[in-house]
């Protein structure tokens, strides 16, 4: 017959293996989550740095933004927050995508 408790244990075991919890402990799951978060924020930073080319700021600031996004990933968001005139108002003639309003 169908045993719901044994099915729950099998499900927990599968989830634990997927996230790296088990003999290696939760450390592997933590590093996996951190790596995934780093990659997602890094990709978002790169996309945002490219979109900022249509907004205010010097060409040097925009180039530094792309370099920061490529080399430092999520730390780009610190540069985005600190540089007040980077990626600000939209310049005329460009699409209204990204940037600060």
**Structure-model confidence comparison of residues 16 and 74, the more confident one:** 74
- Give me the pLDDT at residue 1, please: 53
Q: Report whether pLDDT(4) > 90.
A: no
**Structure-model confidence comparison of residues 19 and 60, the more confident one:** 60
- Give me the pLDDT at residue 43, please: 94
Contact 46, 79 (CB under 8 A): no
Residues 6+ positions from 99 with CB-CB distance below 8 Å: 51, 52, 54, 55, 87, 88, 89, 90
Tell me the range of 5-14, 51-60, 89-98 where mean pLDDT is highest. 51-60
CA distance 50 to 73: 13
Least confident of 1-10, 23-32, 92-101: 92-101
The CA-to-CA distance between both ends of the chain, in Å, stands at: 62
């Amino acid at each position: 017959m169908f045993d719901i408790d044994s099915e729950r244990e099998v499900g927990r075991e599968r989830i634990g293996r997927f996230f790296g919890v088990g003999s290696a402990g939760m450390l592997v799951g933590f590093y996996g989550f951190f790596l995934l978060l780093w990659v997602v924020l890094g990709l978002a930073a790169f996309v945002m740095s490219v979109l900022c080319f249509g907004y205010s700021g010097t060409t040097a600031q925009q180039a530094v933004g792309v370099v920061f996004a490529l080399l430092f990933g999520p730390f780009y968001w610190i540069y985005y927050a600190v540089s007040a005139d980077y990626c600000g108002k939209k310049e005329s003639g460009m699409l209204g995508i990204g940037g600060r309003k």
